[in-house]
């Protein structure tokens, strides 16, 4: 496995591999890798001859400097996981490699980036869209692989690629979960034991809503009220948002659901009483199994 630090070196690698007729895959990450990332690498290996993993904590997508400072950085562990997963190249640049001195250019995606995390984290998706564009230009992949846990991020990137007519396929991989249901996330490292236990409220509330939808519940307000009741059972959990959205456009859904709907959650796990800090913000989602009205079974 090769570790590359410079954009030009990665571009040269991509050019050489393309000339040789080999297919390239990119897995963009911010490090603190876990088995969810290993699943992304496995999908990339399935789709390509060579796999590049980028490890870069992107400063422009953080709206809170404390969150950026607290983000885990464990490069040696990350490289070991990449080696085990069969990665060919790790791209681990410094900030100045992707954001040269005096950089003035950013990439802005419109409506699809405004709700959910876009509303509660101003500028976040501008940072995401900018760094992903830079990584695609550096790695020159045929396909880039992202996790569906970050559903809105995946939707924003697909919109970006479609709008700019970029010659790359974007692939999504279903959320990988711990045995108890918690979605794997680099932020889980920051949870204290009690917060880790209470964080299960996210997956429980998703499961409860999916069960209600399978049982025939179609009222969006009642579904969301059930989610809020479930989350309220965890004393340290504070809802940032709990919303139902169209899975593709992220537009609001009607009051009565008539098709599958994305249930998207963002929840803060507050620090223990007397402790300092903003807590840990976790996101999760599922697509509720709502059948179109014509396909609903008779009651």
For the chain, 299 residues long, the average pLDDT of each consecutive 10-residue run is 98 98 98 98 98 98 92 97 98 97 96 97 97 98 98 98 98 98 97 97 98 97 98 97 98 97 97 82 97 58
Residue spans per domain, the chain: 2-173, 186-292
Q: Which of 269, 190, 277, 288 minimizes the C-alpha distance to 231?
A: 269
The SS3 call for residue 284 is strand
**Measured distance CA(82)–CA(70) in Å, rounded:** 23
* pLDDT at position 25: 99
Question: Residue 42 class from Cβ within 10 Å (0-12 exposed, 13-18 middle, 19+ buried)?
Answer: middle
* Contact between residue 94 and residue 3 where contact means Cβ atoms under 8 Å apart: no
CA 8, distance to chain mean position in Å, is 27
What is the per-residue pLDDT for 293?
A: 63
23 neighbors 49 (Cβ within 8 angstroms): yes
What superfamily in CATH does domain 2-173 come from?
A: HUPs (3.40.50.620)
The conformation of residue 31, written as its DSSP 8-state character, comes to S
Predicted local confidence at residue 297, as pLDDT:
52
Q: How far apart are CA 90 and CA 96, in angstroms?
A: 17
Say which residue the tokens 């859904």 belong to. Answer: 253
The C-alpha R_g of the chain, in whole angstroms, comes to 20
Report H helices in the chain.
7-19, 35-47, 65-70, 75-85, 95-98, 117-120, 124-139, 151-164, 193-198, 201-214, 220-231
Task: Decide if 124 is catalytic.
Answer: no
Cα(84)–Cα(264) distance, integer angstroms: 33
In this prediction the pTM is 0.94
Architecture, CATH, for domain 186-292: 2-Layer Sandwich (3.30)
Q: What is the DSSP letter of 216?
A: T
Q: Which two tokens stand for residue 262?
A: 């994305």
pLDDT score recorded for residue 116: 98
The whole-angstrom separation of Cα 238 and Cα 125 is 23
| Structure token digits, residue 272 | 């223990």
Catalytic position from the list 34, 37, 124, 142: 37
Question: Do the Cβ atoms of 205 and 230 come closer than 8 Å?
Answer: yes
């Amino acid at each position: 496995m090769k570790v590359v630090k410079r954009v030009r070196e990665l571009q040269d690698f991509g050019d050489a591999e393309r000339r040789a007729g080999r297919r390239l895959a990119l897995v963009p990450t911010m490090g603190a890798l876990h088995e969810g990332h290993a699943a992304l690498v496995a999908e990339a290996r399935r789709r390509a001859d060579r796999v590049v993993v980028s490890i870069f904590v992107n400063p422009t997508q953080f709206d809170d400097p404390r969150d950026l400072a607290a983000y885990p950085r464990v490069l040696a562990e990350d490289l070991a996981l990449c080696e085990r997963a069969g990665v060919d190249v790790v791209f681990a640049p410094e900030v100045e490699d992707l954001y040269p001195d005096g950089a003035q250019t950013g990439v802005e995606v419109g409506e699809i980036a405004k709700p959910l995390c876009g509303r509660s984290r101003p500028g976040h998706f501008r940072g995401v869209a900018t760094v992903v564009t830079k990584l695609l230009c550096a790695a020159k992949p045929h396909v880039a692989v992202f996790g569906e846990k970050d559903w809105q991020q995946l939707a924003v990137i697909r919109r970006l690629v479609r709008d700019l007519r970029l010659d790359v396929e974007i692939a999504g991989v279903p959320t990988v979960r711990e045995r108890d249901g918690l979605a794997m996330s680099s932020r889980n490292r920051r949870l204290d034991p009690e917060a880790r236990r209470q964080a299960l409220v996210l997956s429980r509330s998703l499961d409860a809503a999916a069960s209600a939808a399978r049982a025939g519940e179609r009222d969006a307000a009642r579904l969301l009220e059930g989610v809020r009741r479930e989350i309220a059972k965890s004393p340290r959990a504070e809802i940032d948002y709990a919303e139902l959205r169209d899975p593709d456009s992220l537009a609001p859904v009607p009051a009565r659901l008539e098709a599958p709907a994305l249930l998207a959650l963002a929840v803060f796990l507050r620090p223990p009483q007397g402790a300092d800090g903003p807590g840990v913000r976790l996101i999760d989602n599922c697509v509720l199994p709502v059948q179109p009205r014509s396909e609903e079974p008779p009651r």
